[in-house]
Structure 1
Amino acid sequence: MLKWVVTAILITGGTPALAAEHLDCMSLPLGAAEQSLLDRHYSAERGDDRRTLAIDVVLNGRAQACGYLYGWSEKALRLAAHHQWLQIQWKALERFNHYSADEEARLNVALAPRMDRLISLFKADVDAVVANVETPPPEEDAFREFKPMIKEAKLTGENASEENLGVWLYQRGSIMALERAFQGS
């Protein structure tokens, strides 16, 4: 009897809303045509970081498929597609990464007590993605309070520049903020 009641509730009332999961679905291998499109984007080096209509279709299509499989909300679909776009952008910029794996590990240790603060700086970006509008540009000197990380991580030479740290913080913060919002959607 109880089994019948639970089944009837699920059929008539739907399933309870769960937090979005399985963001890794967005990074599963693409088909040959879609991968070719991304490879052209990576090799273009035009300095154009805007999503083309074709890339948008690929990302939104993948989000729709993953969303169907895992019951994502519309908000989660937008967050997942934008998260994957950021992954694509940061992969395209990997050749400009100035930090070694050891330096990144030290930066992550220095960032740990400041993690929530960094994520909070990207609230406007997450809100823009959810509202389906263009994300705002980063604020001037937004990472001022993170400058001590250079000394804490024992960065030297060119890698000790505030500009390099700012790029690294922008990458980490934007992705972590989207991941946190996705989990809460």
Structure 2
Amino acid sequence: MRTLSKYSPWQSEMAVTASLLKLDLLSDKKIVEYTHYLLDNEYYDDEMLSIIDDDPIYPRGNKESFQRALSSLGFPDIYTEQSKWIYTYRLMNNYATAPNNHYVFANEAVGFYYKFDEFFNNDSHLKEISKLKDLLYCIEDAGDNFYMGYITHGYNDPVTLYRMQCQFFQLCHQWITDNHPKIESIFKALYA
């Protein structure tokens, strides 16, 4: 994530992980992988043993055990609203860093519009960027047609796609810039 003035990368990672757990965005597989990562880096809690020893076919509640382990390891206790801001910040920050990586549009397994769709339908922190929803739809639609070989000048030719992608990166950067103080205040509350 973009550097937060007073917080280490580890504090950022702890806040993001707590946010993902709070928003129920961590699968059992990811929880087991992250638990192994913590153990490999010498973080230990007894709850972690029940996670890595759990039967993958019949999980016994890794999320609850993981929450207890994170809490005892000093991960911040986070509210849902804070989690949404941190998750949105993390998502937008992936695309706001320079230089822009245009290859992400070709390499994403899931379409870009659908990656952001949840933010448009729920109580979104992206609504303030009115152009983002339409732009993402246009990039997705034009890109799909381009990769199927249907190329129309001014709609999905390479120059037009590149311009739309640049506009997307600019909107992400603008969102990060506008909301950086809000994220700083959330981190201040988490690590006070």
Same fold (TM over 0.5): no
Structure number with higher relative contact order (C-alpha < 8 Å, ≥ 6 residues apart):
1
Q: Which has the higher helix share?
A: 1
Q: TM-score, normalised by structure 2?
A: 0.28
Q: TM-score, normalised by structure 1?
A: 0.29
